[in-house]
Amino acid sequence: MSKFLLDKYKDLVPYTPGEQPKDQQYIKLNTNESPFSPCEAVMKAIENEVPTLKLYSDPECKKLRCKLAEIYNVNENEIMIGSGSDELLNYVIMAFAKELVFPDITYGFYKVFADVNKVPYTTIPLEEDFTIDVAKYVAPGKMIVIANPNAPTGIALSLEKVEQIIKNNPTSIVMIDEAYVDFGGESAVPLVKKYSNLVVTQTFSKSRFMAGARLGFVIANEELIKDLNTLRYSISPYNVNSMTLAAGIATLENEDYTKSKCLEIIKNREYLSKSLKNIGFDVIPSSTNFIFAKTDKIEGEKLYLTLKEKGILVRHFKSERIKDYVRITIGLKENMDALVKAIKEII
Amino acid sequence: MSKFLLDKYKDLVPYTPGEQPKDQQYIKLNTNESPFSPCEAVMKAIENEVPTLKLYSDPECKKLRCKLAEIYNVNENEIMIGSGSDELLNYVIMAFAKELVFPDITYGFYKVFADVNKVPYTTIPLEEDFTIDVAKYVAPGKMIVIANPNAPTGIALSLEKVEQIIKNNPTSIVMIDEAYVDFGGESAVPLVKKYSNLVVTQTFSKSRFMAGARLGFVIANEELIKDLNTLRYSISPYNVNSMTLAAGIATLENEDYTKSKCLEIIKNREYLSKSLKNIGFDVIPSSTNFIFAKTDKIEGEKLYLTLKEKGILVRHFKSERIKDYVRITIGLKENMDALVKAIKEII
């Protein structure tokens, strides 16, 4: 650390993204990316943008917002676009959070966003079975953040229960991070018109094949979106590049492709769950593109390390309550077969 | 503004980017973009990335940093990549600034970065002729920000004078924003090895035809870069998408193309300066891809508005010292001819 870094950041511990090793080819089941590439139309849309890369991208991201508005049945002014949802989660916390509340086991980045924004946070333990007891989420004046479905557990909360949290906290912003919602969750977007304290974030990184293009969006009532734009225009007004904007529109124009690939991932997920249960794993029922599983035959960390030696990457978290588990991204059926075969050799 | 926005942002006035009107086709000479598209190789590089958009981009931006390191003769660990230089300017101010000092007439975003980070700032008036008197820049413990060449004046500061500022402020970070350096300025990058308080930012938006792809970089000593990465990994670790990274590398592999286009812009700049002087304009000698000019025949704002009616966009700033001027981006020779013709009709 340099002597110039401001004191307030001296203890900041950044988020550690899932490893992206370059030493060899892996079957990559560790960062919840899609095993499918974007559809043909995306390539064309991107090509069309190259000659005009010399011009700034549209800071309003108008066309993409209109297309999203149409699909999600909201107003275009209820949407802000970001370069991935991490950037957006940070803007929401920066704009509205005096204090944060989130589950003890969830996306590891929330506590980092809290730290970088100098916002204190409290965690609420998930139940024994990793579900959320909504009655525990009453936090006047504090922002509540819920990943739904949750990561790394994969468990979804019903829309009814999400609404209960929003209703119980009229003086708090409730942010629902729906990164994985397209694999079986229920989106809170329809509640945006009803509750002015609701913020929903989604991403193109998981169900829409575009992790490398960096695209996410926030849906919330117009006043909240205006506030978020005030911050965005004070930091990085042209935050999304024009190729990614065009790719996003082309992807949304091909929702059938997206939906069919989501169904395929759900099918592979059920296939992997069954295969792992057959060899003695506890598998938490997942509504996402990953599963969270453990076995008493091998420790989570050891399984992760041994699989890595065999050329398969999964993710392991060291925190106490979940250290027995590994998180496995759902890939192609052949990836799932290779994984199960490797695990059988190990245990 | 919503009732949820934190008090500290209630008075925040965001930056206003140059207008990007969609109502008709304009000759766009208002946001200092390049009139040239990226070279062929960039298209190929981008196409190659589309199939792997499903995977996250490299958060370390390793290949691009290595290529930049080679070109700028620094170590790859002395570089951080950003999604345009605005994002990077903000990270530098966020990380290191207790207070900011910059000229009264310069890039309008600096004061917004100060405001959004709740950092007080002082401006130091440029001399009568809009040059910088380096003796006035002694600010112990405060961060000094200099755009070199400066915008919107276009005036460059010699490397010797830049070094004097850095030397005179050993306890301050001196940030040199070199967005326009490739059009005739002298870069401070060679001083990075000598001074641990120097931060240099550059962008691919001006000389490298990629405003719409969003790409910028910071060069500074390794410790400062580590600090900046701590913040970046706490907000948006995958801040640059993989198409833009690939496009950046391809552009750097074709420096001859870049250099020849810079020379063409410089030629067109001298041509426009001469043409405007011929019809009675005061033109400030420019080391950038724009010129700053005025005439006593028409007010700056009126010239801007009348040109807009004629389908030509230039930029006008309302602040007192420069309200007589317009800032004109250098375009193709035919754009320059069209502009001069239109101005002749107006005055």
Q: Give which of B77, B81, B53, B116 is closest to B214, Cα–Cα.
A: B81
Amino acid B194: pLDDT: 98
Cα–Cα distance for residue pair B254/B36, rounded to 1 Å? 14
**Tokens coding B14:** 């965001």
Instruction: Please list every residue in chain A whose beta carbon sits closer than 8 Å to the beta carbon of residue B49.
Output: 212
Residue to mutate among A1, A3, A4, with most B CBs inside 10 A, is A4
Q: Please give, rounded to a whole number of angstroms, the shortest distance from the CA of B278 to a CA of chain A.
A: 30
- A96/B6 Cβ within 8 A: yes
Cα–Cα distance for residue pair B219/B72, rounded to 1 Å? 9
Using the Cβ of A25 and the Cβ atoms of chain B, whether some distance falls under 8 Å is answered with no
* ipTM exceeding 0.90, yes/no: yes
**Element spanning B272, H or E:** helix B255-278
Using the Cβ of B4 and the Cβ atoms of chain A, whether some distance falls under 8 Å is answered with yes
Amino acid B24: pLDDT: 79
Cα–Cα distance for residue pair B1/A66, rounded to 1 Å? 22
Q: Please give, rounded to a whole number of angstroms, the shortest distance from the CA of A180 to a CA of chain B.
A: 15
Distances (CA, A) of B172 to A35, B142, B169, B177, B227: 48, 5, 5, 16, 15
Cβ-based neighbours of A70, under 8 Å, separated by 6 or more: none
Tell me the three-class secondary structure of A270-335, residue by residue.
Answer: HHHHHHHHHCCCEECCCCCCEEEEEECCECHHHHHHHHHHCCEECECCCCHHHCCCEEEECCCHHH
Cα–Cα distance for residue pair A195/A100, rounded to 1 Å? 19
Using the Cβ of A252 and the Cβ atoms of chain B, whether some distance falls under 8 Å is answered with no
Q: Please give, rounded to a whole number of angstroms, the shortest distance from the CA of A210 to a CA of chain B.
A: 5
- Is there a contact between B29 and B329 (Cβ–Cβ < 8 Å)? yes
Cα–Cα distance for residue pair A85/A100, rounded to 1 Å? 18
Amino acid B16: pLDDT: 85
- Give the single-character DSSP code of B117: T
| Chain B stretch 205-244, residues whose beta carbon is closer than 8 A to a beta carbon of chain A | 205, 209-214, 221, 223-224, 226-227, 229-244
The residue assigned the tokens 């950092």 is: B119
User: Is pTM beyond 0.90 here?
Assistant: yes
Compute how many other C-beta atoms are within 10 angstroms of the C-beta atom of residue A231. Answer: 21
Amino acid B21: pLDDT: 79
Amino acid A325: pLDDT: 98
Strands A27-28 and A312-313, sheet pairing: parallel
Cα B37 versus chain centre, distance: 18
Angle at B61 between CA B58 and CA B65, to 5 degrees: 160
SS3 state at A174 = strand
b/e sequence A256-288, b meaning 16+ C-beta within 10 Å? ebbeebbeebbebbeebbebbeeeebebbebbb
**Tokens coding A302:** 């050891």
**Tokens coding A47:** 């090509």
Angle at B127 between CA B123 and CA B133, to 5 degrees: 80
Residue to mutate among A56, A197, A264, A313, with most B CBs inside 10 A, is A56
Helix, strand, coil % in chain A, rounded to nearest 5: 40, 15, 45
- Is there a contact between B221 and B78 (Cβ–Cβ < 8 Å)? yes
Cα–Cα distance for residue pair A122/A336, rounded to 1 Å? 37
Q: Mean pLDDT in each 10-residue stretch from start to end of chain A (347 residues)? A: 96 89 87 96 96 95 98 98 97 98 98 98 98 98 98 98 98 98 98 98 97 98 98 97 98 98 98 98 98 97 97 95 98 97 96
Query: Quick one: closest CA in A to B239, which residue?
Result: A83
Strands A100-103 and A121-124, sheet pairing: parallel
Instruction: Please list every residue in chain A whose beta carbon sits closer than 8 Å to the beta carbon of residue B213.
Output: 53, 241-243
Amino acid B18: pLDDT: 81
Query: Quick one: closest CA in A to B63, which residue?
Result: A22
Cα–Cα distance for residue pair B21/A65, rounded to 1 Å? 17
DSSP-assigned beta bridge partners for residue A216: A82, A203
- Is there a contact between A212 and B53 (Cβ–Cβ < 8 Å)? yes
Residues of chain B below pLDDT 70: none
Query: Quick one: closest CA in B to A115, which residue?
Result: B234
Using the Cβ of A335 and the Cβ atoms of chain B, whether some distance falls under 8 Å is answered with no
Using the Cβ of B71 and the Cβ atoms of chain A, whether some distance falls under 8 Å is answered with no
- Give the single-character DSSP code of A17: P
For chain B, strand residue ranges (E) read 27-28, 79-82, 100-103, 121-124, 143-147, 174-177, 198-203, 216-220, 282-283, 290-294, 312-313, 326-329
SS3 state at A98 = coil
Cβ-based neighbours of A281, under 8 Å, separated by 6 or more: A293, A294, A295
Cα–Cα distance for residue pair A46/A172, rounded to 1 Å? 40
φ, ψ (nearest 5 deg) of residue A123: -105, 145
Angle at B163 between CA B160 and CA B164, to 5 degrees: 90
Distances (CA, A) of B269 to A99, A129, B111, B177, B212: 53, 69, 29, 21, 23
Amino acid A17: pLDDT: 83
The residue assigned the tokens 């460059």 is: B156
Cβ-based neighbours of B114, under 8 Å, separated by 6 or more: B93, B97, B100, B120, B121
Cα–Cα distance for residue pair A204/A248, rounded to 1 Å? 8
| Chain B stretch 98-127, residues whose beta carbon is closer than 8 A to a beta carbon of chain A | 98, 112-113, 115-116
Measured N-to-C along each axis, helices B333-346 and B255-278 cross at an angle, to the nearest 10 degrees, of 20
Compute how many other C-beta atoms are within 10 angstroms of the C-beta atom of residue A332. Answer: 14
| Chain A stretch 125-154, residues whose beta carbon is closer than 8 A to a beta carbon of chain B | none
- B34/A237 Cβ within 8 A: no
**Tokens coding B334:** 């035919």
Q: Indicate the residue of A6, A36, A242 with minimum beta-carbon distance to B212.
A: A242
- The string of DSSP letters for A238-258 reads T-S-HHHHHHHHHHHTTHHHH
Classify the C-alpha dihedral B63-B64-B67-B69 as positive or negative.
negative
Strands A312-313 and B198-203, sheet pairing: unpaired
Q: Indicate the residue of B12, B15, B214 with minimum beta-carbon distance to A241.
A: B214
Q: How many CA atoms lie within 13 A of A159 on its CB side?
A: 11
Q: Please give, rounded to a whole number of angstroms, the shortest distance from the CA of B38 to a CA of chain A.
A: 7
Residue to mutate among B11, B207, B241, with most A CBs inside 10 A, is B241
Strands B312-313 and B27-28, sheet pairing: parallel
Amino acid A19: pLDDT: 81
Q: Exposed (0-12), middle (13-18) or buried (19+): which is B98, by Cβ within 10 Å?
A: middle
Instruction: Please list every residue in chain A whose beta carbon sits closer than 8 Å to the beta carbon of residue B34.
Output: 54
Q: Give which of A83, A94, A146, A99 is closest to A116, Cα–Cα.
A: A94
- Is there a contact between A336 and A312 (Cβ–Cβ < 8 Å)? no
Cα–Cα distance for residue pair B152/B292, rounded to 1 Å? 7
